[in-house]
Each structure stands twice: as structure tokens, then as C-alpha cells.
Amino acid sequence: MSPQKYLRYLMLPSLFGTDRTKEILQVNPTVLPQREEAKEVKISVYEYNAATIQEYGVETVAECLHCKDNEYISWINIDGLRKNDVETVCNYYGIHPLVIEDILSINQRPKMDEVDGILFCLLNMLYFNEQKKTVEAEQISIVLGKNFVLSFQEDSQRDVFNPIRTKLKLNNVKIRQRGADYLCYSLLDMIVDNYFIVMEKLSEQIELVEEEVIRNSNTRSLASINQLRKELIVLKRNFAPVRDLLNGIIRSESDLLEDRHTKYYKDVYDHIVQAADLSENYRDVIMSMQDLYINNVNLKMNEVMKVMAIVTCLMAPATVIGGIFGMNFEVIPYIHNRWGFFLAVGCMLLIPLWMLRNFRKRGWF
């Protein structure tokens, strides 16, 4: 057995995950962090209409610039961000420099902007790390223009859009019959739906911790509760801004959004409101577990104090009798009697037994 598995619990900062606290809370918006250039970039292009679809990958962003001027609905998905690639694509599609800055930003708050005939959405895709038991966020930027959608992702190894890719390959599906704003809705809907998957994973951890607290409350239980509270902060930090983002889209009067698709964005808005309510419920459960942990600790302390008090009471008669017969007087009853010692010891035993019987009868233990 590896000792490192257990030695980490001897260090309280490691047990309570202070590094995770710093990662979640230490965000300074006035300092612009430098984004590292992605080592791997994957560019996939989908060009489709109701009748046909073309799907292909390209090596450089220059190969997908032709999509702007054709008759198809185009979706260009870039996994892995490099400054030159992002600037090249955005400049060709007429995207404002402030939007380019937001795409390349780090730890940006989810938001929605309308700039120069472009609708821009920035939010996070959430994943649950099974090994670390933490919620991980990946920033994604979605740009909606006339007959095209650009999506920029940080990680080239994962996303949540595979169901959309599968639907695009099918004939007579709604996404193929509608415009680019419906594709944008589909991307946002898939991101929000994945929030519920993350919350289900987190709820399983909450159930396990709750069972542990009820059965055996210890320092590790408190550490688990503390970790869950931090993960709920991540959820709350994402849910509230995404709700505002969708509300902004619903209220927008942009020509890029068809009126018939407003109800779909309202449906996503309802989902994010429900997710926010569930996160508040999770928070209430966590607070209840913390109160339960404190009550269990106090209960154990009360049990220990009760046992110690009973033992003290049972020892009191022996102490009193021993003190009386230990006084330095010349005349003490039974001091020279051959049965005096046995009588004193008998009283020391019988009186505590009688007290013990009365305590039991009164239900004190």
C-alpha cells in the first residue's frame, strides 16, 4: 500500500483544498492574463442547407474563409485558440476588435453583445472531473452573423456538440431547415443541457457525503462538505450570467434573430432558471449537512461529558468515605474493628451501585 495515499490527509491545506479556493476566487479583472498559444488546433467546417451538407476539416484558418460568401449556412468550429488564427478569421468576417479581445480573454464573465451587425455570446462549458471530484469550466465564444456561426473553444479534446453534429448529418431535421440563429440556439441549448449532467454528478457526491456525515462524522467529512461548497460557487458563477445572456437575446431586436425562434431561446432560458434553482437547493442541502455535522460533533461531546459526569458521581461516595476514614483523629468509629475495612469497602461499592440503578431508572443513560 502506498503511504502517499494517506500522508496527504496529515496536511490540512491539502485535505481542505486551499489551492482550489485560490483557483476559484482569485480572479482580478483589471489584470489581463496572457493566454498560452494552443499546441493543437482543430478546425471543422459544416456547410449545409435543407438539401445538402458538406463536412470537412481544414489545416489552416485561411481554408475556411470562403464560407462567408456562399449560399449555405456555415458553422466553423475552432478548437484551440491561437491569436493569429482568431484575428485572421474575425477580421475577414468583420468582427469588432473588442469582440476579438473577449474571445482571447481568460476567466471572462459570461455575456452577450451586439456589435456591428454581429451577435456575440461568451459563456462556459462545464465538465465534472471524476478523479478530482471538481467542476471544470471551458470558455467558449459563439459569433452569430448572417448565414454563419463561428465557435471558438479552448480545449481541442472535448466539447458537448456531438449530438448536433449527428443531427446535421440527417435529412429532414429541423436544424437543417432553419437559419443560422437556430444553429446558435442549438449550441446554447446543448451547453445548458450539459449543466444538468454536471449537476447530477455533483448531486451523487452530495448524497455520498450526506451518508458519510450521518454514519460517521469526522474531519474528512467536513473537508468534503467544504469542497462541495466550492464547486457550487462555480455553478452559481456561471448560471446567473448565462441567464442574463439568454434574456438579452430574447429582448434583442437584431435582424439576425427570427421571431419564430424566440420561443426556443425562451425554452433555454427556462432551463437555466431551473438549473439556478437546483443549485440553490444543493446549497441548502450543503448548509444542512454542515449543521448536521456540527450537531453530531456536539452530540458526541455531550455523550463524552455525560459518561465523565456519571463516573465522577459514582466515584464521589468512595472519595467521601475514604476521606472520612483518612482523617487524623484519635477516635474514629470502627477504626480498630476487624470488620471496619470490609465495611468501608462495601459501602464504597454498594452506594455507587445504588446510584447507578437510580440513574438508569431515571433514563439518564
Write out 64-92 in H/E/C secondary structure: HHHHHHCCCEEEEEEECCCHHHHHHHHHH
pLDDT value of residue 184: 95
DSSP for 171-203?
A: TT-HHHHS-HHHHHHHHHHHHHHHHHHHHHHHH
- Give the model confidence (pLDDT) of 301-333 as tens digits: 888 888 888 888 888 888 887 787 777 777 777
Written in H, E and C, the secondary structure of 267-319 is HHHHHHHHHHHHHHHHHHHHHHHHHHHHHHHHHHHHHHHHHHHHHHHHHHHHH
Whether the per-residue pLDDT at 2 is higher than 60: the answer is no
**Region 72-95 average pLDDT:** 91
Spell out a b/e string for 92-101, using b for 16 or more CB atoms within 10 Å of the CB, else e: ebebeeebbe
The pLDDT value recorded for residue 8 is: 47
The CA distance from 64 to 70, in Å, is 11
CB 190 within 8 A of CB 161: yes
Q: Which residue has the higher pLDDT, 84 or 31?
A: 84
Amino acid letter for position 119: L
Percent of the chain with pLDDT over 70: 90
**Tell me, what's the pLDDT at 181?**
93
Q: What's the grid cell of residue 121?
A: 455570446
| Distance, C-alpha 290 to centroid of its chain | 17
Q: Domain 4-296 in CATH: superfamily?
A: CorA soluble domain-like (3.30.460.20)
Residue 33: the pLDDT is 58
CA dihedral for 330, 333, 336, 340, sign (positive or negative): negative
| Least confident span in 66-80, 140-154, 230-244, 336-350 | 336-350
User: C-alpha angle with apex 120: 115 to 121, nearest 5 degrees?
Assistant: 150
**Does the pLDDT value for residue 179 go beyond 80?**
yes
- pLDDT, residue 22, reads 65
**pLDDT surpassing 60 at residue 127:** yes
Q: What is the pLDDT of residue 306?
A: 81
Confidence of residue 75 (pLDDT cuts 50, 70, 90): very high
Q: How confident is the model at residue 7 (pLDDT cuts 50, 70, 90)?
A: very low
Conformation bin of residue 280: beta by default, left when phi > 0, alpha when psi is -120 to 50: alpha
Task: Share the mean pLDDT of the chain.
Answer: 85
Instruction: Tell me the average pLDDT across 121-134.
Output: 91
pLDDT digits (tens, 9 = 90+) for 262-295: 999 999 999 999 999 999 999 999 888 888 888 8
Query: CA-CA distance, 103 to 143, in Å (whole number)?
Result: 10
The domain locations on the chain are 4-296, 302-362
- Does residue 3 register a pLDDT over 60? no
Would you say 237 and 279 are in contact if contact means Cβ atoms under 8 Å apart? no
Please report the pLDDT score of residue 32 as a whole number.
Answer: 54
Q: Three-class SS of residue 11?
A: coil
Q: Does residue 260 sit in helix, strand or coil?
A: helix
Cβ atoms 83, 202 nearer than 8 A? no
Amino acid occupying residue 129: N
pLDDT band at 12 (very low <50, low <70, confident <90, very high): very low
In the predicted model, is pLDDT for residue 70 greater than 70?
A: yes
